[in-house]
Every structure is written in structure tokens, then in C-alpha cells.
Amino acid sequence: MCLIVGLGNPGLGYKNTRHNIGFRVIDQLAGDMGVSLTKRRFHSRNILTRYQNKKMILLCPETFMNLSGKSVKECADYYDLEYGKILVVHDDLDLSFGRLKVVRNGGAGGHKGVQSIIRYMSTMQFPRLRMGIGRPRHGEYVENYVLSSFYTDEKEILENIIFLAVQACKLFISEGVEPAMNQINCQNLAN
């Protein structure tokens, strides 16, 4: 069984922000599978479903970003999941917009949601799908930047980026982290 976690903040005010791209990926993945996140367990929106005959949980924590780990740990403990079977999808300031990177593990890189998961799980040994949002172009404070919508010229390719992220999640579920890394990390949709 796999757990695919999208990070974001609950509420309509955050819906289309850079920080919520993880939620958008999970919602699109669920839509592709013909399900929606209707369960309200583990302080999250979630659903238990199957993809290519493999059980999986799609989960979006409703705890706000800084407490995402609480939700992830509750779900992982309940299903007794191995850390390597948990994929966390999140925005990343240090990757340029249009880049996606699947990684096996690592530090939080300043991302409060990932920091929370590391703190609650007491490990960094879980895969991530890092989605590049780049750095502010116009001198915005980082906190304001991540909680803002994408720039107008970015919105043109945003759906393609979300589509590729969904493909990365499907590869992770069906084939594992290595094939997902090999097929996704070489692509740059901003070019």
C-alpha cells in the first residue's frame, strides 16, 4: 500500500496559491481515478482506492501547512506504512518553475510542511515530489509569494506541470521511486 500526500492549506483563500500545488496534484490524481477525497479521517481529506490493482491512500492534510506531519503520521501509523511507500508532493522555492524532481529522502529545505512531517515521523526517509515554483521575481517577501497565485505567464503551463506531477505519482505507485526519478527528473516544462 502507498500513501500519496499533497501539501497545502485548507480553505478557499489558499486554493490557487503556489503553496497549494500539492493539493491540486492530489485532487487531479483523484479525478483521474474517478474518486474524490470524501473521507475526513486523520485530520485530512482522504480516500482509500486502487491504481493498477495496488491499494493506495490519497491524502490532503487539513491541519494547515505547519502541522502537516500530524495528519501524515496518524495515517501512516494506522495503516502501518513503510516510510518508502509515502510520497509527499509539495512546492519548492529552490527549483525553477516548470521543474519537478522526485527524490528518495532528504532535509526540509526550509519547507514548513516537510519540516513538520520530519518532526512528527522522526525520519527524513520518505520520498518527495518537489514541484518547482521558483523565487519571487518582483521583490515579494517569500511568505507572501508562496501564498499568492502563480504569475500570469506561468498559468499557461501550470496544467501541464500538474499533469506531469500526476504521472510521477502514478509511476511511483505502479513502479516505485527509481522509475519515477528516471522519467520525471530530466524534464523541464518551463522551456
Given a cut of 80, whether residue 2 has pLDDT beyond it is yes
Which residues are bridge partners to 59 per DSSP? Answer: 5, 46
Q: What's the pLDDT at 156?
A: 86
Q: Rounded to two decimals, what is the model's pTM? A: 0.96
Residues across the chain: 191
What digits encode the pLDDT tens for the residues 125-157?
A: 999 999 999 999 999 999 999 999 999 999 989
* Selected catalytic residue, list 19, 43, 90, 111: 19
Q: What's the pLDDT at 190?
A: 80
Residue whose entry in the numeric block shows the C-alpha cell 500513501: 3
- Which bin fits 176, alpha (ψ -120 to 50), beta or left (φ > 0)? left
Mean local confidence (pLDDT), 14-39: 96
Mean local confidence (pLDDT), 37-65: 95
Which residues are bridge partners to 87 per DSSP? Answer: 4
* Burial (CB count within 10 angstroms: exposed 0-12, middle 13-18, buried 19+), residue 33: middle
* b (16+ CB within 10 A) / e for 160-189: ebbebbbbbbbbbbeeebeebbeebeeeee
Given a cut of 90, whether residue 37 has pLDDT beyond it is yes
Mean local confidence (pLDDT), 63-84: 96
Give the C-alpha separation, 161 to 78, whole Å. 32
Give the C-alpha separation, 86 to 41, whole Å. 17
- CA neighbor of 1 nearest in space, from 83, 70, 69: 83
**138 Cβ neighbours under 8 A, 6+ residues apart:** none
Confidence band, pLDDT 50/70/90 cuts, at residue 74: very high
Please, what is the Cα angle at 175 between 68 and 78, to 5 degrees?
Answer: 35
- Any idea which of 5-9, 105-109, 162-166 has the lowest mean pLDDT? 105-109
H/E stretch holding 119: helix 112-121
Catalytic (active site) residue 138: no
Kindly report the CATH class assigned to 2-184. Answer: alpha beta
- CA neighbor of 182 nearest in space, from 167, 95, 94: 167
So where are the chain's domains? 2-184
